């Protein structure tokens, strides 16, 4: 069974977001081993300088890096400049990972300032959910739903219809 790591910077604060993630985590259990890794956000002032933002992103990248195993995993960096996929295309990518001997798929969601370039360069795929901007907590719920939908598409269930 493939392992899916959802590596996120920041924690879900509101209960309704945590409940939504818990529901999709439960639904995903027959299809994959899901692990949600919540990393601490770097502390920044209300109006950080570019230098402070870069230092924070690099600090967060060092934490993210600890969870990336390049040899046996496929990594998606969630970033606005990434490529958008349909649900069917995401399903195909996950199927490919499962059939090509990769044991782990990582999805990396950065802080509100994004993901360090070092992580983006290392990623196998840069994925954008939309050209629109979403709160990070909502984006996490949307991503986990899309992962569930991808497995449902592969299983030919009625969920996606």
56-80 pLDDT per residue, tens:
999 999 999 999 977 789 999 999 9
pTM of the model: 0.95
Find the helix or strand (DSSP H, E) in which 3 lies: strand 3-9
Q: At what angle do helices 136-154 and 87-99 cross, to 10 degrees?
A: 70
Domains and their CATH numbers in the chain: 3-154 (3.40.1280.10)
82-133 pLDDT per residue, tens:
999 999 999 999 999 999 989 999 999 999 899 999 999 999 999 999 999 8
């Amino acid at each position: 069974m493939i392992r899916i790591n959802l590596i996120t910077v920041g924690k879900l604060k509101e209960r309704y977001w945590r409940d939504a993630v818990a529901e999709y985590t439960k639904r995903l259990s027959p299809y994959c081993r899901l692990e949600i890794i919540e990393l601490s956000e770097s502390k920044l002032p209300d109006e950080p300088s570019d230098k402070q933002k870069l230092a924070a992103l690099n600090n967060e990248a060092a934490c993210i890096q600890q969870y990336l195993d390049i040899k046996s995993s496929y990594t998606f960096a969630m970033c606005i400049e990434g490529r958008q996929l349909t649900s069917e295309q995401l399903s195909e990518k996950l199927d490919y990972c499962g059939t090509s001997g990769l044991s782990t798929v990582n999805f990396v969601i950065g802080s509100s300032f994004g993901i360090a370039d070092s992580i983006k360069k290392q990623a196998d795929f840069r994925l954008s959910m939309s050209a629109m901007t979403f709160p990070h907590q909502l984006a996490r719920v949307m991503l986990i739903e899309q992962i569930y939908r991808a497995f449902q598409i592969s299983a030919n269930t009625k969920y996606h219809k």
